[in-house]
Amino acid sequence: MPSIMRLAWPAVVGNLAYSVVGLVDIKIVASLGSSAVAAVTTGHRIFWVTQAVMIAVTAGTTALVARAWGAGNRAEAARITRASLVLCSGIAALLTVPAFVFARQLAGVFELDSETVDTAAVFIQVMSLFNVAFAVTMVIGSSLRAAGDTMTPLWIGLATNVLNVVLVFGLVYGRFGLPALGVAGAALATGLSLLAGALFCLALWGAGRLRVGVGEKGSFTRERVRQLFHIGYPAGLEQAAMQVGFIVFLWIVSLYGTAPYAAYGIGVQILSFSFVVGIGFNIAASTHVGQKLGAGDPVGAEESGWRAMRLAVVTMAILSGLIIAGAESIAGFMIDDPEVVRLTVVFIYVLGAAQPLMAVDFTLGGALRGAGDTRFPLMTTLVGLVLVRGSIAGLLAVMDFGVEWVFCALLLDYLVKSSLMTLRFRRGAWKKIRL
């Protein structure tokens, strides 16, 4: 069985590459002004809300494939992948219609000016057209990682990221013979790169070139769908709660104007260089714990979870420290707006200080999900993100505190969630879950 580091580093590198692309995208869009940055931030947030159901399915995919692989049942891993792909693609197609039709209403949730809302609505509509492509890459990537192959998703991700950068530059500014579409061009570039990645994944999978097989006809059974939903629906609800919490927090920030809102979007993108490391260890912990439990080794599963957490805490603390040290220079490079730069630096200080807590939340949450314990992370998200972050940020806004204090609600959110995750993992009830 691959080690934690062997599983984690390709995911970390892939996520870091994705962060570089995100930073380049924001830098390109920022040249159009803070309103354009706010529109892209809104569009991405709404896009991730609509993906909650698909994330639920892939949470089930990860747990079931990892268990089957750990038990040496390669055929069942292939059947689960096939069933998950059909289910997730169908859901993605259904989600496209409401996202496209009600794009302006969704963007209008935030207290932004009419022009920014209109731009964000176009971004949402374009991105929604690529829901199915996103679903395909999610399912195949999740299945491969659960089977211990983190290299293939890495190479495919790197290729699509390069394509994304080229297309964003071309479609925003009108280069390489492409039309200048502004913010809509950024959405189209992201969508087209997702589509290219999805088609490549399907070609490799269909040709039998991937570690996880295609699975025979008849894999899409009621029992497998029930298993996927039984394990995955709490993760889907967790994602929905998480996105609602993000939206509530962003809505509160938007009350302070476009500059703080844009600062939030830029700050998150800059600090993503740190917390995507946690996502990489999240994937490694989920895979390792699932495979160890499938092989009948609960003690090894627990050791894997703690080791992934320690590695993530140290790595994220170092990276966030470096980002905090260069916060002002990085923010100034991203956008030429003194107020946005000032608020971005404040945001980086606050969220940067929360990185070790995020590491605990990410890795132990991933370990619990890999064991099939997807309900507790849901409850933790409801308590931390929705109740703590949302209520405290709202109270500070009502009491007319500055937006800098509203940003500080993030620290309390991650303090609560990391504490709850640690207690749950230490108690060990997750070792007895039967899938």
The string of DSSP codes covering 163-194 is HHHHHHHHHHHT-TT----THHHHHHHHHHHH
Can you give the pLDDT at residue 214? 86
Residue ranges making up the domain that contains 183: 4-432
The string of DSSP codes covering 90-141 is HHHHHHHHHHHHTHHHHHTTS---HHHHHHHHHHHHHHHTTHHHHHHHHHHH
Can you give the pLDDT at residue 171? 94
Can you give the pLDDT at residue 296? 84
The closest alpha carbon to 371, from 304, 430, 284, belongs to: 430
Can you give the pLDDT at residue 396? 93
The closest alpha carbon to 435, from 289, 274, 219, 239, belongs to: 289
How many other C-beta atoms can be found within 10 angstroms of the C-beta atom of residue 415?
A: 16
**Dihedral sign, Cα of residue 229, residue 241, residue 99, residue 44:** negative
pLDDT tens series, the chain, 435 aa = 556 777 677 777 777 777 777 778 878 888 888 888 888 888 887 887 767 677 777 878 887 888 888 888 999 999 999 999 998 899 889 989 988 999 898 888 777 788 888 988 999 999 999 999 999 998 999 899 888 888 898 899 889 989 998 999 999 999 989 999 998 999 999 999 999 999 999 999 999 999 998 888 888 888 888 888 777 777 777 777 777 777 788 889 988 988 888 888 888 888 887 877 888 888 888 888 888 888 888 898 899 899 999 999 999 999 999 999 999 998 888 888 889 899 999 999 999 999 999 999 999 998 998 888 878 988 898 888 778 888 899 999 999 999 999 999 999 999 999 999 999 999 988 888 775
Can you give the pLDDT at residue 3? 66
Q: How many domains does the chain have?
A: 1
Contact 127, 191 (CB under 8 A): yes
Runs of H (alpha helix) within 371-408: 375-381, 390-398, 403-407
User: CA–CA separation, 261 vs 253, rounded Å?
Assistant: 6
Can you give the pLDDT at residue 70? 82
Can you give the pLDDT at residue 277? 82
User: CA–CA separation, 271 vs 347, rounded Å?
Assistant: 10
User: CA–CA separation, 124 vs 127, rounded Å?
Assistant: 5
**Which DSSP state fits 216?**
-
Can you give the pLDDT at residue 203? 95
